[in-house]
Structure 1
Amino acid sequence: MGYLTPVRTALWGAPAETKEERKLVVKLDVFILTSACLQYWVNYLDRANLNNAYVSGMREDLNMVGNDITIINTIFWCGYFLGQIPNNLAMQYFRPRIWMPFCMLAWVSTGFVHNKESIMAIRFVQALFEGSTFVGVHYILGCWYKEEELGKRTGIFTSSGLAGTMFSGFLQGGIYASLNGKSGLAGWRWMFVVDFLITLPLAIYVYAVFPDTPDNTQAFYLSEDERKLAITRLGRRFGAEHEHGDVGKSIFKRLFTSWEIYGFCFIWTMGSNCEMFSTNAIMNLYLSSLGTYSVELVNYMPTGVSGFGIVATLILGWYSDFTKKSWHVGILVSCCAVVTGAIMLNPPSLAGKLFALYLNGISWANQTVYFAWANRLTVEDAAKRSIILAAMNTSAVIFYSFWAISFYAAGQGPMWKEGSIAMMVSGICMAGGVMVVRYLEQRDAKRRASAVIEATGSETSEKPDSKFEKGAAKVASNEV
């Protein structure tokens, strides 16, 4: 592997020091990443289906008017934010390999509804359980992977959601063309039926291979030595993460006296707001309003937003891992949010407007970088970490539930001027928040470095156990 080692190191990180650890990481990548990505892929496939169905005949069949689609999406996000923290706390008591497939099977097909009120009720229930996937997998990734491994894997995971969105567009277009009217079902109904049929075997796969956490895993493909190695390679004693991070009365003190919950909730909320052109199907609605594109093209063309988002997520996730400068990505995406908002506010042409909508796909990289960043800085406390990751998405979805209907409602198209201004404001606020988080990260690193130097200077026989402590001096001496 000699000549390829530098390439492999640049793209995927340095290989593990021992043969045993390399074998373990390969197993983790094969089983954790595949099961996590398949969950998120079908999760996003289900979410995107509603918007695709809306422009593929559902609007007419169910007599939907005005902002009905925006209201349904808002109801979905209300259920989604209610499910975030309870789902992550549930995984402190139930094995993730049982809880997550259960949540997947709770996603009910929407293909047989007959009115918009039924969709509202079903989407709310679906959202309660769909809330387990995003924050739950981020928590699991932080349990198994080292700091230098995390960003790349997180990037692959979040990209799988974008792949679900992109695939939904192609699938809906293909189903409309080939199955519309078959067995008396409209094409948009077939989309939901197919989605449910895809979800069922994937839930069984997740149950079979998902490894829980290193402290309680019973995965059939891991030996006892590999289970212990999974813990010791992260720089902590067996069970130490749970020993110092139990759910109990002290969790509230550990949470609310730390800056991480406030800082990361803020920057991810603003980052989520910067995705609004993409997540609210603005391009689908805009193309549909023109009346010059076929149903198939209205579904196909917006897939380019997801495609660009996948590329940006993988590249910027890799950059964040390689440089350890997550804040660079935050500033870049903030600038792009301001640019896309400015173009959409006064588009010079149709091409200019489409360019802004495609460029907005870069905002998806926020998911990878911010959640990996939070995972790294809270790795020593399992319960605190699980709640912070869930709280990040919960705060973002709470904001989303009124932000979308206030600034990105279907009735505000085709210009969405209020939304364009909101996009620019969100980008500016996110940039400010990223700089504050960067400052606090540097401050804490310097404090840890001073504590390590003091401890090792006075008691030379003791060496710090924590990977965090071992690297603190290095982090503090470099620009984060």
Structure 2
Amino acid sequence: MVSVENEARKGRGPWQWFAPTDTKEERRLILKLDLLILPYAFLMFWVSYIDGTNISNAWVSGLSDDLGFHGNQLVHFQTMSTVGQIIGQIPSAIFFSILPMHWIVPGTQLGWGVFTLVQFRAQTYGQLMAYRFMIGFFEASLFPGIWYVLGSWYRPDEIGRRAGMFQMGLPFAALTAGLVQSGASANLDGVNGLAGWRWMFIIVSIMTFPTAFLGFFIWPGTPTMPNKIWIKEKDLAVHRKHFGAMAKNHVKGKHSWALWKGIFLDWKIWTFTIYNNLLYFSDPQPWSGYLLWLKSLGRYSDAKVNSLSATAPGVGMLLVLVINSFADWFGRPVAVLVAQGMNAISTLILIIWDVPEAAKWYAFNTYYADVGMNGVVFSYCQDACRRNDTERGIIVVVINIIAQIFRAWAGNLMFATVDAPRFQKGYGTCFAAAISIMGFTYYVRYLYARQE
């Protein structure tokens, strides 16, 4: 199959960071972009995931008992964040190609930092539901925004490993959230009359604000609207040379009825919507099954539960990087087979459930393999949509919105808190989606080849 990605990969070993054809100036620019984009993208993703998921750590650390919460209210909080993300992404489909990304992403991060902080004062179910909605609303532009910037600066053959590096922020955040809550429970519980879980919300908001302000200066924007603190005209000239014929697609967005009609009549938006939905449905880790299982064992303190919950994301960091590197080295279908093969094994163990406890430890500690698939699916989408920046921004947002709409109701149906920690319906769905996405990848590959 002929593609930009495969052509650029020719003669390039897995250990090589640059393509053999890259000039000295191109390599210098790529390294500069790596230093501006990857550490900060990792940092944003890390902070975002902590702010978005720390409700689960708080739940098992006294929040539910202190405020009298029960039943499925944990999954309600998780779902409300998703609803906020769905609504918040709608304007992103328009703004990404017409406003500077080094304004949009850090600006919205300030918003979710504020609502992360005010959670510490929550007293009622309604208050916390409102705060979770606003956190999701302001977080909405982050994930598609990072992908939009990556696709603007990097060629399709360069995205895989870089996606893995920033997406390591997700398991690292899950790991850190557990350790932060463990420390708060052990050392701050009762200080100034506040429970440990309330201190966690204060701590993670303090982590959020400096990251947001840093973004206004560090985040490079896009080639059409660059952050001129770092990106000079000579950098843009080198970038145009590096991208070759694809550089002509970097134009400021112009929205029209014809553009939107063309997008919705084309194969890409519907195919990648299905692909991304399969990815979302195959992912078991957002529903806190591991954390709730540890709690159900009844043998660990709150601090120990949060500490042990860090093992799965710790393993997940390595899995995310390896799987996305496989996409660069051996092609995306190989990466999909590795990631979803591991995911299918772990979810099958959890479906059976009546297995030795060691098998459950293995299953929970490997189910972050699915997270590595984000980079594969979205890099495929970036590649297929590379001919039109405005189209690319719209499709990335739309496929993410539709997947989150399905997740919003699916969580309540398949991962109801009252079914914890077994979640038989949830893990069954994840297993079926994992098998399906392996086959669907080859259909995507066929359509992509036909387009090329």
Task: Give the equivalent residue in structure 2 for 1:241.
Answer: 250
Residues 1:155 and 2:169 aligned together: no
Deviations 1:3-60 (Å, cap 9, x if unpaired)?
Answer: xxx9986153436632221221111111122222211110011122111111111111
Aligned equivalents of 1:373 and 1:210: distance in 2?
Answer: 23
SS where residue 122 of structure 2 aligns?
coil
Residues 1:404 and 2:399 aligned together: no
Instruction: Select the residue among 20, 31, 39 that pairs with 2:25.
Output: 20
Instruction: Select the residue among 430, 441, 445 that pairs with 1:434.
Output: 441
Decide whether the 8 Å contact of 1:56 with 1:295 is kept in 2. yes
Instruction: Select the residue among 216, 227, 252 that pairs with 2:225.
Output: 216
Task: Give the equivalent residue in structure 2 for 1:106.
Answer: 111
Supply the AA of the counterpart residue of 2:57. N
Aligned equivalents of 1:49 and 1:16: distance in 2?
Answer: 45
Aligned equivalents of 1:218 and 1:300: distance in 2?
Answer: 40
Instruction: Select the residue among 53, 57, 78 that pairs with 1:52.
Output: 57
Shift in CA distance, 164/176, structure 1 to aligned 2, threshold 3 Å? same
Decide whether the 8 Å contact of 2:86 with 2:405 is kept in 1. yes
Task: Give the equivalent residue in structure 2 for 1:302.
Answer: 309
Aligned equivalents of 1:208 and 1:218: distance in 2?
Answer: 8
Task: Give the equivalent residue in structure 1 for 2:47.
Answer: 42
Q: Answer with 7-16 or 343-352: which moved more.
A: 7-16
Aligned equivalents of 1:310 and 1:248: distance in 2?
Answer: 41
Higher-Rg member (1/2)? 1
Supply the AA of the counterpart residue of 1:252. W
SS where residue 69 of structure 2 aligns?
coil
Residues 1:263 and 2:271 aligned together: yes
Aligned equivalents of 2:99 and 2:313: distance in 1?
Answer: 34
Decide whether the 8 Å contact of 1:268 with 1:366 is kept in 2. no
* CA displacement at 1:87 relative to structure 2: 2.1
Task: Give the equivalent residue in structure 2 for 1:443.
Answer: 450
Task: Give the equivalent residue in structure 1 for 2:8.
Answer: none
Task: Give the equivalent residue in structure 1 for 2:173.
Answer: 164
Task: Give the equivalent residue in structure 1 for 2:74.
Answer: 69
Shift in CA distance, 49/15, structure 1 to aligned 2, threshold 3 Å? farther
* CA displacement at 1:328 relative to structure 2: 2.1
Aligned equivalents of 1:149 and 1:327: distance in 2?
Answer: 16
Deviations 1:96-118 (Å, cap 9, x if unpaired)?
Answer: 11111110011112111111211
Task: Give the equivalent residue in structure 1 for 2:281.
Answer: 273
Aligned equivalents of 2:126 and 2:294: distance in 1?
Answer: 26
Supply the AA of the counterpart residue of 2:262. R
Task: Give the equivalent residue in structure 2 for 1:450.
Answer: none
Task: Give the equivalent residue in structure 1 for 2:6.
Answer: none
Decide whether the 8 Å contact of 1:215 with 1:231 is kept in 2. no
Deviations 1:343-396 (Å, cap 9, x if unpaired)?
Answer: 112231222122211121111111111111111111111111111111222122
* CA displacement at 1:70 relative to structure 2: 0.6
* CA displacement at 1:322 relative to structure 2: 1.7
Shift in CA distance, 337/94, structure 1 to aligned 2, threshold 3 Å? same
Instruction: Select the residue among 403, 409, 427 that pairs with 1:420.
Output: 427
Aligned equivalents of 1:80 and 1:291: distance in 2?
Answer: 34
* CA displacement at 1:144 relative to structure 2: 0.3
SS where residue 243 of structure 2 aligns?
coil
Task: Give the equivalent residue in structure 2 for 1:350.
Answer: 357
Aligned equivalents of 1:176 and 1:197: distance in 2?
Answer: 17
Supply the AA of the counterpart residue of 1:216. M
Using the size of structure 1 for normalisation, the TM-score is 0.87
Supply the AA of the counterpart residue of 1:67. N
Aligned equivalents of 1:224 and 1:8: distance in 2?
Answer: 32
Supply the AA of the counterpart residue of 2:53. A
Aligned equivalents of 1:16 and 1:101: distance in 2?
Answer: 35
Aligned residues: 437
Task: Give the equivalent residue in structure 1 for 2:339.
Answer: 333
Shift in CA distance, 398/88, structure 1 to aligned 2, threshold 3 Å? same
Aligned equivalents of 2:203 and 2:139: distance in 1?
Answer: 18
Aligned equivalents of 1:444 and 1:136: distance in 2?
Answer: 25
Decide whether the 8 Å contact of 1:246 with 1:382 is kept in 2. no
* CA displacement at 1:187 relative to structure 2: 0.7
Decide whether the 8 Å contact of 1:88 with 1:135 is kept in 2. no
Shift in CA distance, 414/39, structure 1 to aligned 2, threshold 3 Å? closer
Task: Give the equivalent residue in structure 1 for 2:381.
Answer: 374
Aligned equivalents of 2:451 and 2:304: distance in 1?
Answer: 51
- In structure 2, the gaps of 5 or more residues are 1-10
Residues 1:139 and 2:148 aligned together: yes
